[in-house]
């Protein structure tokens, strides 16, 4: 019983990190590849990232000092590893911020006018408000717990209310040409590597429990994603918009706006901290880069008609997920050889060269398919 409360806290943290606003894009890409293809993606990617999370947890537990991801990469891979991990982390956050801005623009436009014609104007208005809020840092932190709770409420409400509307024929579609389309979006939705350092601190007196926390959290996230996708795809078929809640009515659009807002604000603050602590920027410069770069990139994509919610999330998934996966696979053998704690005990996850190569192939094929999708 003495380990119950830390385990509950750690599990809530990891599930909250996993179930971000990215899940809103899974039905759109899934219906185009086919529901069974999307479900297979959820299973394969979920298991693959869960294994990598177990490896990262072991790396953290074999290291005496507490680090963020860039710190672990520097310890075991040197300065080049640190730089690559920073690129992965910062690039993934930028992609998420861009996607959330796009999602907010479309959501507000739909809410106020019933169409997405005014999405860019709405996006600019929302960006001004967000830039002001993140400048006044103290007014943001209290909303994070509320945002995570709202995401779960939103998903469960949709699953319960829309389950009776499922039409089996909508779940029977399949497209060979788009079979790998869901990879980037679903990978993005399973990324939770940044939670490991904090989970290590929470479970400092119960390190062997990290494996159980990781496995249970990924199982819960996978079930939620599969159920949500089945309900939306089964109910709407090919009529699903890129942001699933746009098809569900104003109340769900409002809920998704709040969800996207809290996710955006939390990530912006995380990026500001990363730029200040890991890149030695002043807080003013970090705030400017954290707010201005995503807006400029979205406007650039919009000029080429590429400012798409799922497209940007897919880019974030392959950039952050694939690069981080390869770095973790490179770090683990070194952590076992030269880490502070080398003994084989309950913290060790199963590892073999064939499994490492299999994971590498999965991520490289998925990343390649996503890049082809971006370019076509």
145 has a pLDDT exceeding 60: no
Over residues 206-230, mean pLDDT: 92
How far apart CA 93 and CA 97 sit, in angstroms, is: 6
**What is the band of 278 on the pLDDT scale with cuts at 50, 70, 90?**
confident
Task: State pLDDT tens for residues 122-136.
Answer: 999 999 999 988 887
Residue in the structure block whose two tokens are 């679903």: 186
- Rg of the chain over CA atoms, in angstroms? 20
pLDDT recorded at residue 158: 87
Is residue 341 exposed (0-12), middle (13-18) or buried (19+ Cβ within 10 Å)? middle
- For range 339-343, the mean pLDDT: 74
The CATH number given to whatever domain includes residue 13 is 1.20.1740.10
Torsion angle in degrees (nearest 10) through CA of 235, 240, 246, 250 = -30
pTM for the complete prediction?
0.91
What CA–CA distances, in Å, run from 23 to 17, 225, 260? 12, 7, 11
Q: Which two tokens stand for residue 54?
A: 């177990």
Distance between CA atoms of residues 65 and 45, nearest Å: 30
The whole domain housing 48 covers 4-375
- Report the number of distinct structural domains present in the chain: 1
CA 37, 364, 176: angle at the middle one, nearest 5? 30
């Amino acid at each position: 019983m003495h380990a119950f409360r830390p385990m509950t806290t750690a599990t809530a943290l990891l599930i909250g990190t996993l179930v971000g606003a990215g899940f809103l894009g899974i039905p759109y890409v899934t219906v185009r590849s086919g529901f069974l293809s999307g479900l297979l993606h959820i299973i394969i990617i979920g298991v693959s990232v869960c294994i990598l999370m177990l490896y990262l947890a072991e790396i953290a537990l074999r290291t005496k000092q507490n680090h963020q991801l860039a710190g672990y990469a520097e310890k075991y891979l040197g300065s080049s590893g640190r730089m690559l991990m920073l690129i992965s982390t910062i690039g993934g956050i930028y992609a998420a911020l861009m996607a959330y801005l796009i999602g907010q623009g479309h959501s507000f436009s739909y809410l106020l006018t019933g169409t997405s014609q005014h999405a860019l104007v709405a996006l600019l208005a929302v960006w001004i408000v967000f830039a002001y809020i993140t400048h006044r840092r103290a007014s943001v932190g209290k909303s994070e717990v509320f945002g995570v709770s709202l995401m779960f409420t939103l998903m469960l409400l949709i699953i319960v209310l829309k389950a009776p509307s499922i039409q089996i024929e909508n779940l029977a579609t399949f497209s060979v040409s788009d079979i790998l389309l869901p990879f980037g979006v679903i990978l993005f939705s399973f990324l939770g590597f940044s939670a490991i350092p904090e989970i290590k601190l929470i479970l400092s007196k119960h390190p062997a429990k990290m494996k159980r926390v990781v496995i249970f959290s990924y199982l819960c996230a996978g079930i939620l994603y599969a159920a949500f996708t089945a309900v939306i795809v089964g109910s709407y078929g090919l009529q699903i918009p890129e942001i699933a809640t746009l098809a569900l009515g104003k109340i769900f659009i409002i809920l998704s706006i709040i969800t996207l807002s809290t996710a955006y604000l939390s990530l912006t603050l995380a990026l500001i901290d990363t730029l200040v602590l890991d890149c030695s920027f002043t807080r003013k410069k970090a705030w400017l880069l954290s707010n201005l770069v995503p807006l400029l990139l979205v406007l650039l994509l919009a000029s080429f008609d590429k400012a798409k919610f799922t497209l940007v999330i897919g880019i974030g998934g392959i950039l952050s997920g694939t690069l981080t996966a390869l770095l973790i696979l490179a770090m683990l053998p070194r952590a076992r050889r030269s880490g502070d704690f080398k003994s084989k005990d309950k913290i060790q996850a199963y590892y073999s060269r064939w499994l490492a190569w299999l994971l590498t192939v999965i991520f490289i094929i998925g990343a390649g398919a996503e890049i082809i999708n971006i370019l076509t």
